[in-house]
Amino acid sequence: MKLGLMLSYSGARLSLPLELVAAAERLGFDSVWTAETYGSDALSPLAFLAAHTRDLRLVTGVMQLAGRTPANCAMAVQTIDALAGGGRVVAGVGVSGPQIVEGWYGQPWGKPYYRLRDYVTIMRKIFAREEPVTHGGREIALPYAGPGSTGMGKPLKSILHPNPALPIWLGTDSESMVKLTAEIADGWIPFRFVPETMPTYLPWLQEGFRRARTGKSLADFEIFAETDVVLSDDVAAGFDYLRPKVALYVGGMGHRDKNYSKDHMSRLGFAEDAERIQELFLAGRKAEAAAAVPDEYCDARALVGPASRIRRRYADWQASGITGLTIRPNGLHVLPVIAEIAGLRPRPNTPAMDHATGLRR
């Protein structure tokens, strides 16, 4: 099972942990991941990291579909891939939620299923460069011919010759969207995955492969889950470290009636806890909301404790059928431990980082 390093999006200040990235590359990690919500974007840091790494794959986990047209998204990732030497970028895309799509990007929520299908299809055509791009989709069409159109739109072909097989992975969760992912994408970024849920997802994935009619299967499809890794001799303190973030997502990230993290918590058997956390968080009682997060939920979705405990739980993730695990470590000290548990082979010739300049020596 491959390991990825998740850098997430920024808080009030953006600071990329280059020492952490350099250590991950040296230890044999597969990839480094960036993300976005409504502050820092996923692509700018990825371009910066392309200049400061040599072997890591560069993955957006995930770009928000509403933030870019499919052509703009394809242009950005193929440009970064070219700058990185080719064959290193993975375009991870997701639809986000209606609060961000309509509230931040000013786009209609529409029909995410059909919009995602159109989006990926257009990106594929751009990467392939077989002919000028046209697409008559249900949600997106090229050339545009809707309200306000001049009628002068012209089908175009990318001037840059990109990697025609540049991978597209989708961050999805519902049955219909997971089936679509297996049908049209090269990989899947499951939302809040825990190993015990794989039996639910497998039939959906298999149905998506069947619909693709290309012979694709799990053997040539990547599944990269994500988890926190909190290395600590004090397991209870590790759970306390996670509670505020869980409360933020379950209580405040999304609309009261449409919150993916809350729904996930409920599906895992913590519905009453999820309702209570949301109620407290939205009432401004954030510390109480964090305290209401059950230990069992933290334990299900994260690797917490000393190395021996993490090793036992890691085996469940490894046996689940995923091909990779992207981690959010609670410090640099986590990386050599999780690399050893995962059996990674260090890269012996990785250049050292000059921390004064952020450049390779």
Interval 7-20 mean pLDDT: 92
Binned at pLDDT 50, 70 and 90, residue 354 comes out as: low
Average model confidence (pLDDT) across the chain: 94
Q: Which two tokens stand for residue 8?
A: 């997430």
Binned at pLDDT 50, 70 and 90, residue 192 comes out as: confident
Query: Could you tell me if 49 and 17 are in contact, meaning their C-beta atoms sit under 8 angstroms apart?
Result: no
pLDDT at 292 over 50: yes
Binned at pLDDT 50, 70 and 90, residue 259 comes out as: confident
pLDDT in tens, 207-251: 999 999 999 999 999 999 999 999 999 999 999 999 999 999 898
In order of their start, the domains of the chain are: 2-229+306-360 (3.20.20.30), 233-305 (no CATH)
Return the pLDDT at 263. Answer: 87
pLDDT at 101 over 60: yes
Binned at pLDDT 50, 70 and 90, residue 267 comes out as: confident
User: How does 277-298 read in b/e, with b if 16+ C-beta sit within 10 Å?
Assistant: bbebbeeeebeebbebbbeebb
Return the pLDDT at 356. Answer: 46
Interval 96-115 mean pLDDT: 93
Phi-psi region of 217 (alpha: psi -120 to 50; beta: other; left: phi over 0): beta
360 or 283: which leads in pLDDT: 283
- The strand pair at 222-231 and 302-305 is best described as parallel
Give the pTM: 0.92
CA distance 337 to 321: 22
pLDDT in tens, 113-171: 999 999 999 999 999 999 999 999 999 999 999 999 999 999 999 999 999 999 999 99
Beta strands in 37-166 (DSSP E): 57-60, 63-64, 89-94, 135-136, 141-142
